[in-house]
A and B are shown apart, each in its own frame.
Chain A
Amino acid sequence: MESIAHRAALAAACACLGLFAWGATSASAFTNSYCGVLVSAFTWCGDGSNHSYNFNSATYTGGGDVYLCERLLIADSKEPREGAVCGYNSVSQTFGAYPYLTEAEIQHQTGANHTIYGYATA
């Protein structure tokens, strides 16, 4: 009896490990809303994590017009993956396959502080 219970316990532990592993690997296929807070002009606001992003956007939905930029950085570096795209109120870009993880960033260049929204998918 104890042997069966022992196996059951191990099976439960393995299942638990499996769930953790799934959680870790599934992080590469998800959507990420980031920033969404007051950001000062010319300050990059990042998602703070590393993923295989293939889309990034910056959006402002308040009053007036705000000039925004978005970019991907190679993870844990200051090296942009590709040139940024800038424009008023909402800009976005899709990216092809890439062998390295990236970080998503947005900024605005209008006035003092604005709430801007980042949205990236991997």
Chain B
Amino acid sequence: MIGRRTLIKTAAVLVGTGALAGVAVAATSAPPAPPPAVAQERSATKIVAVDATQEATLAVLRRPVAKDDMPDDDVRQLVASGAGPSVGANPALARKALTTPTGEQIYVVPGRGWVCLAASGAMSNCVPTDRIAEGYAVSVQDIPSGSRLRGIVPDGVDRVEVRGDSGETATTAPSGNVWTVDVTFAPTSVAWTGDAGEKVVPVAAPPQDPVGPAAPPTSLNPSPSGDAG
């Protein structure tokens, strides 16, 4: 039988341990608590085939998967880490769209109703499939010389133009439904003409100021209703 004194000692040790742990938690949780997060569902199973809309939009997804299409480790890690929402993006169905002059590989990776552009340079951009035809499959990344823009365009687009605030332009030709271009000016829009006419989508270089833009920023593509999601 355990004596009363022993029980008291045990309780004291456990309480002390808890107090220490509490102090440790308090000491390591200095930043203020953010609002309660609403976690995204992340357990979607991988898709097993490209869907009809994806095939109709992107020729690169209509061709058979070749051995060379298998994404490299960086891209597979990017997709496995959770690139995009949980839509079952499947690297086994990816197609390599192009290799940049710097040797970077860019892939088109289909998911459930979404399509991702994934680059071996460790970034990705995913959009719902139907937004590709509207021009919204575009991303901007900081690089030492300025900005690197990338995007996916539907079939029939043979020229993409990046525009700057002072009238600067840079053009490039897509390959495998994908385009990429580096610019030294601050990009403000991306334009191209496809079967449904010209599409012009606003973009902005990533914020440089860690505490926010110095000047009052201009909202991109203002939404008519506050929150749609």
Binding site for B on A (CB under 8 A): 1-2, 5-6, 8-10, 12-13, 16-17, 20, 24, 31, 33-38, 41-50, 54-55, 57, 59-67, 69, 71, 73, 76, 78-80, 82-96, 103, 107, 109-115, 117-119, 121
Q: How many residues of B contact A (CB 8 A)?
A: 78
Binding site for A on B (CB under 8 A): 1-3, 5-7, 9-10, 13-14, 17-18, 20-21, 24, 28-40, 42, 74, 77-78, 81-85, 114, 116, 122-128, 131, 134, 136-143, 201-207, 210-213, 217, 219-224, 226-229
Q: Is the CB of B84 within 8 A of A16?
A: no
Which residue of B33, B137, B139 contacts A85 across the interface (Cβ within 8 Å)?
A: B139
How far is B212's CA from A80's CA once the two chains are assembled, in angstroms? 12
**Distance of A5 from chain B, by nearest CB (Å):** 4
Contacts of B32 in A (CB 8 A): 48
In the complex formed, the residue of A with least CB distance to B142 is A83
Q: Is the CB of A88 within 8 A of B127?
A: yes
9 extra A-B contacts, CB within 8 A, seeds A36-B37, A62-B227: A2-B6, A35-B37, A48-B33, A48-B34, A67-B204, A67-B220, A78-B211, A85-B125, A91-B125
Q: Is the CB of A35 within 8 A of B229?
A: no
Q: Is the CB of A114 within 8 A of B125?
A: no
How far is B213's CA from A109's CA once the two chains are assembled, in angstroms? 11
The 10 closest A-B pairs by CB, nearest first: A62-B229, A83-B142, A87-B139, A111-B223, A36-B38, A9-B10, A84-B206, A33-B39, A63-B228, A78-B210
Contacts of A5 in B (CB 8 A): 2-3, 6
Which residue of B33, B82, B210, B223 contacts A79 across the interface (Cβ within 8 Å)?
A: B210
Q: Is the CB of A62 within 8 A of B228?
A: yes
How far is B131's CA from A32's CA once the two chains are assembled, in angstroms? 28
Contacts of A88 in B (CB 8 A): 125, 127, 131, 136-139, 201
How far is B39's CA from A114's CA once the two chains are assembled, in angstroms? 15
**Distance of B212 from chain A, by nearest CB (Å):** 6
Can you name 26 A-B pairs with beta carbons within 8 Å? Answer: A5-B3, A6-B9, A9-B10, A17-B17, A33-B42, A35-B35, A37-B36, A37-B37, A59-B126, A61-B85, A61-B229, A62-B228, A63-B229, A64-B223, A82-B142, A86-B205, A87-B139, A87-B140, A88-B201, A89-B127, A90-B84, A90-B116, A90-B124, A92-B126, A114-B228, A117-B38
